[in-house]
Structure 1
Amino acid sequence: EMREWWVQMRLLAIPLLAAYLHIPPPQLSPALHSWKSSDSMGVVGSLEIVVLLHGFPTSSYDWYKIWEGLTLRFHCMIALDFLGFDFSDKSRPHHYSIFEQASIVEALSRHLGLQNRKINLLSHDYGDIVAQELLYRYKQNRSGQLTIKRLCLSNGSIFPETHQPLLLQKLLRDGGVLSPILTRLMSLTPVFRPYTQPPESELWDMWAGIRNNDGNLVIDSLLQYINQRKKFRRHWVGALASVTIPIHFIYGPLDPVNPHPEFLELYRKTLTWSTLPILDDHISHCPQLEDLMVFLNAYMGFINSF
């Protein structure tokens, strides 16, 4: 009887699991539709260009709160969704890599005719690692596609030894066939703190972007950047430590992924000349979303000091 019960349970579980995995993605909100189709220019008279590199597992929409503030300082703002994220293609199977994402940024700058212009890079989280690869190429003069004027990083795990991935990230990275199930359990709330939790509508927009075009099915492939960061640690950290352009790191100290004080101690030891504003005690992993004015002031202070 026990064996028959177990067989019946498995037969019942198969269609339930299939239905669970094929729940249609949430509808895109008007705000997301507007962001996808937006095309705005900044202040007249400025020659400054900023390219914004977003974090994992979200998209360029991470910058929407500071976008208007950037238009008051920059002539041109460029924000892309990396391959595998939000409105970009979600190819599978595909070997996603930081190197490919950096090449996409270079190709975009070439397409826009910016290969001979000096670019400001503003990055967050996953985007920080892409910025490190772009910085390495700039230092080596390997591609000549992107000339970096200034670099501003924020709450990215640029040192693998101080990075503390969330439990679900660890499971997804090594989840194999279970990954499609585990991605449905993903929550973005752990990277925020009680005083900086975004409203439900904002979290829903993030999840809608992740689910767009079955993006949840490539999360495990995208997470291989954690292994890439360990493998190429000397390559990318070395680039940060050896260039002469201005570098700025905006840090939310309640970050569970890059914890205080371990991250700060290593950063100050490695990049002794970099500026490192530490934001208010309640700010966590996504400062540009948690306190837009504090983040914007920290960034503009850096830009306006040159």
Structure 2
Amino acid sequence: MPLAEIPLSVWRTRGQSFLFRGQTIRYWVAGQGEPLLLIHGFPTASWDWHYLWQPLTQRYRVIACDMLGFGDSSKPQDHDYRLLEQADLQQALLEHLRVEQAVHVLAHDYGDSVAQELLARHYEGTFAMASCVFLNGGLFPETHRKLLVQKLLLSPLGWLVGRMFSREHLVKSFTKIFGPDTRPSESELDDFWSLIETNQGPRIIHRLINYIPERIVQRDRWLAAMRRGDVPMRVIDGAVDPISGAHMVERYRELIPNADTVLLQGIGHYPQTEAPALVLEHYLGFRAALDVQNRVLAYS
């Protein structure tokens, strides 16, 4: 059965705000149980999770925010946007919500990098992570295949490219990265664009793109954390994604011991909106297996 969507207009009414280093951050929280942190990707926002939101909140206390520079959160124009600061933001949100137990994480794209940083902090003793599931993202810089618009945003003319970025440019990019049979509707594209253009988002998109070189700097530290194996991990990946599809999963299997991976055939870069029922099935399967493992350990 298809999962029901939450219209963006409704989603926005359910959000709350808190201040992070003087900037307004919009966040969403619902449900009860173990905390589950959802971390969105670039250049969109936490509304990316709307198909999964209701079924997940029936099982867990689900938490998500629009990160700094994204969606309906503040987008300061002269800010030096960094993945490490976005990880600080996630920790500040959890502190704001008085979450004290270990957190399960489900991340996508840019959010994968934030999750990798949180995983590294787990092993460094400054964050408590219970599990982590990655959707399509550049987990390894050597497998990330940049789109032309990303290359242009990284160039000295990135500021100009960002200011010229429009709904039409978004449509062209999304046409390339979604599965051939799972592309967003015109209405969905309108909503994605609304989240990007809010608070003059195109003026700072060239600053947000700095996450790509930042990934290179942090690669070895993050990989070392992923290879530790104490935190259960799974990759659920749209196979036909040209940015981080099947080729990224192949590299993951080479680098990560006992790699737990799921490939979704015919699905592109946004599996949580292209095939939300499949993502939910494989995520809940991962959590169910984890629960069994924890019960066995508790009685052993």
Q: Please give the range of the TM-score, normalised by the shorter of the 2 chains.
A: 0.7 to 0.9
Tell me, yes or no, if structure 1 residue 80 matches structure 2 residue 69: no
- Indicate conservation of the 8 Å contact 1:168/1:186, yes or no: no
Partner of 2:160: 178
1:287 corresponding residue in structure 2? 271
How far residue 177 of structure 1 moved from its aligned partner, in angstroms, is: 4.1
The residue that corresponds to 2:135 in the other structure is: 154
Mapped to 2, the partners of 1:220 and 1:305 lie a distance apart of 41
Q: Is the 8 A contact 2:120 2:222 kept in 1?
A: yes
Aligned to 1:199: 185
Q: C-alpha root-mean-square deviation of aligned residues, in Å?
A: 1.6
Gaps of 5+ in 1: 1-29
What is the TM-score when the length of structure 1 is the normalising length?
0.83
In the alignment, does 2:118 pair up with 1:134? yes
One-letter code of the match for 1:180? Answer: G
Aligned residues: 267
Q: What per-residue deviation string (whole Å, max 9, x for no partner) do you get for residues 231-255 of structure 1?
A: 2211112211124110011011001
3-state SS of paired residue (2:231) = coil
Q: Distance in 2 between matches of 1:176 and 1:210?
A: 16
Confirm whether residue 303 of structure 1 aligns to residue 290 of structure 2: no
1:118 maps to which residue? 102
1:42 aligned residue: 31
Q: Where does the alignment leave 5 or more consecutive residues of structure 2 unmatched?
A: 1-5, 15-27, 291-300
3-state DSSP class of the match of 1:232?
helix
Rounded Cα–Cα distance in structure 2 between residues aligned with 1:162 and 1:217: 28
- Give, in whole Å, the separation in 1 of the partners of 2:44 and 2:37: 17
Contact 1:173 1:224 in 2 (8 A): yes
Mapped pair 1:247 → 2:223: no
Displacement of 1:83: 0.3
Give CA deviations for 1:29-79 in whole Å, capped at 9, x if unaligned.
x93232122266325xxx3110000010000000001111112221x1101
Range with bigger deviation, 63-72 or 52-61:
63-72
Pick from 40, 62, 69: which aligns with 2:55? 69
Q: What's the CA shift for 1:273? A: 1.7
1:15-30 alignment, distance < 5 Å: none
CA distance in 2, matches of 1:170, 1:148: 33
Q: Residues 304 and 230 from structure 1, CA distance in 2 versus in 1: closer, same or farther, beyond 3 angstroms?
A: same
Separation of aligned partners in 1, 2:183 and 2:35? 31
| Aligned 8 A contact 2:229 2:257 in 1 | no
Whole-angstrom CA distance in 2 between matches of 1:138 and 1:259: 27
Distance in 2 (CA, whole Å) between partners of 1:273 and 1:96 is 34
**Cα distance in 1 for residues equivalent to 2:162 and 2:183:** 26
**Separation of aligned partners in 2, 1:303 and 1:180:** 39
TM-score scaled to structure 2, two decimals? 0.85
Percent identity over the alignment? 38
Which has the greater radius of gyration?
A: 1
Greater percentage in strand? 2
| 2:260 counterpart (275, 287, 290) | 275
Report the CA distance shift for 1:42/1:237 in structure 2 as closer, same or farther (over 3 A). same
How far does residue 278 in structure 1 lie from its aligned partner after superposition?
1.3
1: distance between equivalents of 2:280 and 2:50? 12
Mapped contact 2:237–2:245 kept (Cα < 8 A): no
How far apart are residue 159 of structure 1 and its match? 0.5
**How far apart are the structure 2 equivalents of 1:263 and 1:214?**
33
Measure the CA separation in 2 of the matches of 1:166 and 1:73.
37
The answer (yes or no) to whether the contact 1:160–1:233 under 8 Å persists in 2 is: yes
Distance 1:93 1:241, change over 3 A: same
Q: Is residue 2:251 matched to residue 1:266?
A: yes
